[in-house]
Structure 1
Amino acid sequence: MNEILQISDTFIEQNTVFLELVNELKKMFSCNEIIVPMRHHHDFPNPELKSDSTLLLMPAWNPSKNAGVKIVTVSPENGQFNMPSIQGTYIYLDAIKGSIKAILEAKSLTVKRTAAASALASSFLSRKDSKSLLMIGTGALSVNLIKAHASVRAIEKVYVWGRNYEKAIRICDQLKGENYISVPVKNIEDKISEVDIISSATLSPKPLVLGKYLKEGQHVDLVGAYKKDTREADDEAVKKSSIYVDTYQGGLKESGDILIPLQRGILKEEEVKADLFELCTDKKEGRVSSSEITFFKSVGHALEDLTAANYYYKKYTNE
């Protein structure tokens, strides 16, 4: 029996080149080879903390090549334990034999592939001359989203907002060696109207990206609000924007950012312009004008996990 490799968060952190991962995702969204059933999404009570947690099971197969499943929990109150809200494991399989090839720590894998998917969307949806970014949120995704967006656009200035200003300062400190200036801000409204790209990754129960502040030509990237009753952008933001999702399968059903406007009649399903499959295969186009506001909602997809697991497995084994 072959040894099961253990691929740690440390290895993933040290061996990620975002533009490489973005290109791998683009290739796999284009190839139509990976089979992805609807993920299991189970909310379960956590009475001790008076807040629900979520269990996600995300399988995917590339027949006769590779397969895998991610098991993830999301616990919004983990900050009080000084732990990320996302915890999990990825089991990477030989799709022919069914044997386990590797077990990857899913925290870093998830944030890396999520950030890379947002950057992939940005390559179609943000203006090519985008130079500034507002990062809303200071969790594990924030640094990764900033670096990923900067891999596809020539970002010069980054503003970081978080409910805890000290955390925003620490995020900016982590980015001091990058090719852009990072500045913490105390109020979203101070910069939201000025930047080219707005990226939001929070567990906020109410919208933080308000349409009244959006201006022509911006790109809005939303990766938080993973539940049906939560959202990061309000109705006005939806009304002013061209709407895109990572996949129709999850994007139209799992997050309040899309589901609530659909239920209210603010948005119709046919008004959602495209998903990443259609963008990557050129079946549909992304941004069509410099004045358009584009709005991308990501809920995550098992294709992204399998692609990332394969990417890190190859790096680990020097294949």
Structure 2
Amino acid sequence: MIPAEQINQILTFPALVDAIEQAFTQDISVPPRLHFDMENPKAARETTLLMMPAWQAGDLAGVKLVTVAPENSKKQLPSIQGIYLLFDVDTGSLKTTLDAPSLTAKRTAAASALASRFLSRPDSSTLLMVGTGTLAPQLIAAHASVRPITKVLVWGRSLAKAQQICQQVAHLAIEVEAIDDLETHIAQADIISCATLSQQPLIFGDWLVPGQHLDMVGAYRPDMREMDDSCLTKARVFVDNFEGALRETGDIAIPLATGVLTKEAIKADLFALSRKEYVIEREQGDITVFKSVGHALEDLAAAKMVYSKL
């Protein structure tokens, strides 16, 4: 079992960003992930079980088993828990197991940074981090590895938790400030990264200004949203993978169902961007949205990177 501490030491940015970009250009088999909502009478919301397999012919295969319990913060437990199993395709033998939450946090942040490298303005210098969970410090570090970030604003429902995130990223030697008012600060940001368990929009199109890039990481269920419809109608929209994004996240599925958004309006996913099948020509005033739902090849790329360093 490779623990979180070792995974965090090995998976650095932007090396992991590069590895995931390469993975999106390779022939990796990824069946649709299995998503089960398990009723939990002890909480107001279900606990979600995710099973995500991926493999490369003749090389390695991986399966991630993860649970998401949204109310775990009340129990002083992480909301995401699980394990990653890495197998040898040739022999079928188990090579190693890895701590899934740390692997997930690293690869999710790297995927967001990869999208930012394609979509955000190259001179983006101010990042607004919305959310104070496990992903927040990883997203800050990942974005700062691909763009010249000099200032980070951190917002959460708890100002104390936002201040804790500031302390966790102090080693980056970037100006970091916890804020308690999202609306009045949002116009200052070049990149807005949002990773929460919110069921209602937190980011509104009326607040946005030209040239911004939105990195939307939360809203992992069809009934959850982090941005309102006008964010989508004002922006050029991209996703990490079409199959998952169209059905798994309320940020995309709900606007599709109501007709606010069409499939054709989603410009490209990370496969097309990484393979140079879609090349964005960004005008200075364009607003871009990247919606991340996660993809098993990202996990496999990260797990292979860890295993290669042992």
Aligned to 1:197: 191
Question: CA–CA distance in 2 between the matches of 1:52 and 1:103?
Answer: 27
User: Aligned pair 1:13/2:25, yes or no?
Assistant: no
CA distance in 2, matches of 1:291, 1:259: 27
Distance in 2 separating the partners of 1:139 and 1:286: 31
**128, 139, 143: which one aligns with 1:149:** 143
**Alignment-derived partner of residue 261 in structure 2:** 267
Aligned-partner Cα distance in 1 for 2:238–2:154: 24
**1:209 equivalenced with 2:203 (yes/no):** yes
Amino acid across the alignment from 1:173: Q
How far, CA to CA, are the matches of 2:4 and 2:199 in structure 1?
Answer: 29
Answer with 127-136 or 284-293: which moved more. 284-293
Deviates more, 1:218-227 or 1:13-22: 13-22
Does 2:171 correspond to 1:177? yes
CA RMSD between the two structures: 0.8
Mapped partners of 1:281, 1:51: distance in 2: 39
- Greater shift, 174-183 or 277-286, is seen at 174-183
8 Å CA contact retained: 1:242, 1:273: yes
Q: Quote how far apart the aligned CAs of 1:287 are.
A: 4.8
Q: How many angstroms apart in 1 are the aligned matches of 2:281 and 2:203?
A: 20
List structure 1 runs of 4+ shifted beyond 6 angstroms.
none
AA at the equivalent of 1:16: L
Q: Deviations over 1:210-269 (max 9, x none)?
A: 100011100000010000011100011111010000000101110000011111111100
Q: After TM superposition, list the pairs within 5 Å mapping 1:95-134 onto structure 2.
A: 95-134=89-128
The alignment status of 1:26 with 2:25, answered yes or no, reads no
Q: Which of 66, 70, 73 is matched with 1:76 structurally?
A: 70
Residue equivalent to 1:218: 212
* Match for residue 272 of structure 2 among 278, 298, 314: 278
Aligned partners of 2:185 and 2:281: how far apart in 1?
A: 23
Q: What percentage of aligned pairs have identical amino acids?
A: 50
Which deviates more, 135-144 or 10-19? 10-19
Q: Secondary structure, in 3 states, of the residue corresponding to 2:171?
A: coil
The answer on 1:229 being equivalent to 2:223 is yes
Q: Distance in 2 between matches of 1:165 and 1:287?
A: 38
1:55 counterpart = 2:49: yes
For 1:224 and 1:65, the matched residues in 2 are separated by: 32
Structure 1 residues 3-59: Cα deviation after superposition (integer angstroms, max 9, x where no partner): xxx21101012222110000000111012x100000001111111112211000000
TM normalised by structure 1 equals 0.96
| Cα distance in 2 between the residues matched to 1:18 and 1:278 | 22
Aligned length: 310
**SS state at 1:253 partner:** helix
Structure 1: runs of 5 or more not aligned: 1-5
- Whether 2:169 is the aligned partner of 1:168: answer no
Task: Describe the superposition over 1:276-299 as per-residue Cα deviations: whole angstroms up to 9, x where unpaired.
Answer: 000001100235211110000000
- Mapped to 2, the partners of 1:145 and 1:213 lie a distance apart of 22
What TM-score, normalized by structure 2, do the two folds share?
0.99
